[in-house]
Structure 1
Amino acid sequence: MADSTKPSLWSTLPDYAKEVTYDYEGHVFQKMISRSYIPDIMNFQVRPDDIFLITFPKSGTTWVQHIVCLILEDGTTSNLQDHLFLKAPFLEMPQSFSKETAEQPPGMYEVAKEKPSPRLMKTQLPMEFLPREIEEKKPKIVYVSRNPKDNAVSFFNFCSLTVNCPQYKVWSEFLHDFTRGAIPRGSWFDNVLSWWSKRDEPNLLFLKYEDLKKDLRASVIQISEFLERPLSEEAIDDIVMKSSFNAMKKNPKVNPDHSEASFKHALQGNRSFLRKGQVGDWKNYFTVAQNDAFDDLYERKMKGTGLTFDFTLD
């Protein structure tokens, strides 16, 4: 259950961040996610054969969604008329991003209700706001994590791609809010560690972005085995090829820049939702002092958990 006594971080945000966000039981939410969506999602009816892709924002959600979709399609791209974003309803997102009406559009969870089984759905909600029936029905959950330094850098850059996020202009201001969990979807530490604590449950696959970067083929096999979708060697090779960063960036049916989710304007400025896809880009943003302070926080939060991350790949 959500904790209604949790202090409001929203009240401490800069005004430009407050303009596009609100407080919901101690968490910062973007205004495009209607307050009414959250209790509806918590009461969402789960099916045992559902597949949930769950991440903290900017952890490789689109990448792994693409891989999962290809696995479910045996490595083919038979459904080429649909953009990748339409293949897995993003539960807490609105069905429309149109500004032409003041009325709040229905949420994508309404679309998910009508999907035939097996359903693939994705969400970036903190664990306490997920469908309650997940615990009972035990659907398959693919959780993707990413080292927090690269995660923070990617999230900072993402904010400037959409008017639905706080428009941080200064890296230090974003990092300050990131480290205290005062950004949309909350604390990286709380999110990742809540799922790490469930890593031994048979219906959960806990992935790391860095492991996919190190050996994509092994990761594809790992995901396919978890989903109980055996693949031929040829299908595995095909999925690996189609899931490279460059292949996804060039594919308009996969690249979010070409979706209806309000990223098209990024192309006008020669920018992209798929920015770099690297491990270690944080070195271009963190100052020595920021890195030292973050390392101290990381050590305190992660102590005794057994969870480690690669911050560079040699």
Structure 2
Amino acid sequence: MTVGLGRLARSIEEVGTNLGAMQAIERPDYRTYEPHDGDVFITSWAKSGTTMTQQMFHQLRMLAATGEADMDFDDISRMTPWEDTAQQNNFDMNVPQKASPRGFKSHREYERLEPGMRYIVTLRDPHETYHSFHRFFSGYLFEPGTIPMEEFFPLWMMGGPGGCDYYTHLLSWYARRNEPDTLLVTYRWMVKNKEAMIRKMAGFLGIDADDAMIDRVDALTTREFMYEHKDKFDDAMIKQGMAEMLGLHDLESSKVKAEGSDAKQVPPAIAAQIDALWAERVAPVTGHKDFASLAAEVDALQG
């Protein structure tokens, strides 16, 4: 049964129409998350390194459990289920996972996640997330060219399915930067120090990773490798559901791009809005006037 507009949206309001229509359909196979001791949430904000972190996590646990890497999946979010989209995807959050520990994806702040678990979070410059978010949603939630970056701000503030706004997320996880149950790094630090990040994640998960395992995971998480296999990192389950429910085909958006996002592409008026909210909400709590200052503190914690 086709619901919604029967096509991609061409305005912010039409995005809401399609998303609302999909949420109204019953999902007989959907089951909510049931916590187990030792569960891990990969819960970066949208477009902040979640996909790379999911791949890093999954390959580490598979190599530790089986001695082999695993690319036998259609969607990395089937390996590390995404609770915020599970109902839309008619997905059982408690299906057996291929290895331990169990891992789950989220874009939420700490206060809306199951307490007493473990959390891996990467923080990214808000201007970069804005450009990345707009590139991703174009051809996915709206027709390319119909919602320019100048009009995209309300969608950026949504933070993705089930998420929260950028500032709520950042403040929540910044407050937990010294907690032993939380591995908090910046996205840029992770990319520039990937081997160190893999070692840090392995230790956080209780995995004894030798140099060969580190090298293998490093190779499996390069931009080139993930772009070559981008169909596995492009929300295949969501896209299939959207195609069926909205009558869409050939959704074009890709999470893994050949080149990274560029904060300089954000229109000056939008950049000013982002900075004004930082000054209003983040600076008084953290003492950091901008993301670069906050990132320097978080990066220094990595040793």
TM-score normalised to structure 1 length: 0.71
Separation (CA, whole Å) in 1 of partners of 2:17 and 2:144: 8
The 5 Å alignment of 1:244-263 reads 244-251=222-229, 254-256=232-234, 259-262=236-239
SS in 2 for 1:19: helix
Separation (CA, whole Å) in 1 of partners of 2:144 and 2:230: 27
Give the structure 1 partner of residue 256 of structure 2: 274
2:299 matched to 1:301?
Answer: no
Give the structure 2 partner of residue 285 of structure 1: 266
Separation (CA, whole Å) in 1 of partners of 2:57 and 2:159: 31
Give the structure 1 partner of residue 8 of structure 2: none
Give the structure 1 partner of residue 189 of structure 2: 211
> Structure 2: which 5+ residue stretches go unaligned?
1-10, 296-303
CA shift, 1:73, in A, is 2.0
The answer to whether the 8 A contact 2:107-2:164 is kept is no
Give the structure 1 partner of residue 210 of structure 2: 232
Separation (CA, whole Å) in 2 of partners of 1:267 and 1:215: 38
Report Cα offsets for 1:159-197 as digits up to 9, x if no partner.
Answer: 223248999611111125535x58753310001211221
Q: 1:141 to 1:36 in 2, by over 3 A?
A: farther
The answer to whether the 8 A contact 1:156-1:168 is kept is no
Give the structure 2 partner of residue 101 of structure 1: none
Aligned length, in residue pairs: 272
Separation (CA, whole Å) in 2 of partners of 1:93 and 1:213: 27
2:159 matched to 1:186?
Answer: no
CA shift, 1:36, in A, is 9.1
Report Cα offsets for 1:61-119 as digits up to 9, x if no partner.
Answer: 1110001111112376443322333211111224775xxxxxxxx3442536x887531
The answer to whether the 8 A contact 2:48-2:122 is kept is yes
CA shift, 1:200, in A, is 2.1
Separation (CA, whole Å) in 2 of partners of 1:96 and 1:56: 20
1:139 paired residue among 117, 133, 147:
117
Q: 1:167 to 1:129 in 2, by over 3 A?
A: farther
- What's the % identity of the aligned pairs? 20
Separation (CA, whole Å) in 2 of partners of 1:94 and 1:223: 26
Larger helix share, 1 or 2? 2
Give the structure 2 partner of residue 242 of structure 1: 220
The answer to whether the 8 A contact 2:133-2:156 is kept is no
Q: 1:32 to 1:56 in 2, by over 3 A?
A: farther
SS in 2 for 1:207: strand
Report Cα offsets for 1:43-77 as digits up to 9, x if no partner.
Answer: x4311121111122111111100011111123764
The answer to whether the 8 A contact 1:53-1:143 is kept is yes
Q: 1:62 to 1:33 in 2, by over 3 A?
A: farther
The 5 Å alignment of 1:42-81 reads 44-74=33-63, 77-81=68-72
Separation (CA, whole Å) in 2 of partners of 1:34 and 1:51: 29
> Structure 1: which 5+ residue stretches go unaligned?
1-12, 23-29, 98-105
The answer to whether the 8 A contact 1:32-1:93 is kept is no
Aligned-residue Cα RMSD (Å) equals: 3.9
Give the structure 2 partner of residue 100 of structure 1: none
Q: 1:251 to 1:232 in 2, by over 3 A?
A: same
Separation (CA, whole Å) in 2 of partners of 1:151 and 1:172: 15
Q: For 1:305, give the aligned amino acid.
A: T
Q: For 1:209, give the aligned amino acid.
A: Y
Q: For 1:286, give the aligned amino acid.
A: P
Give the structure 1 partner of residue 78 of structure 2: 86
| Greater relative CO (CA pairs within 8 A, separation 6+) | 2
Q: 1:46 to 1:148 in 2, by over 3 A?
A: same
The answer to whether the 8 A contact 1:146-1:208 is kept is yes
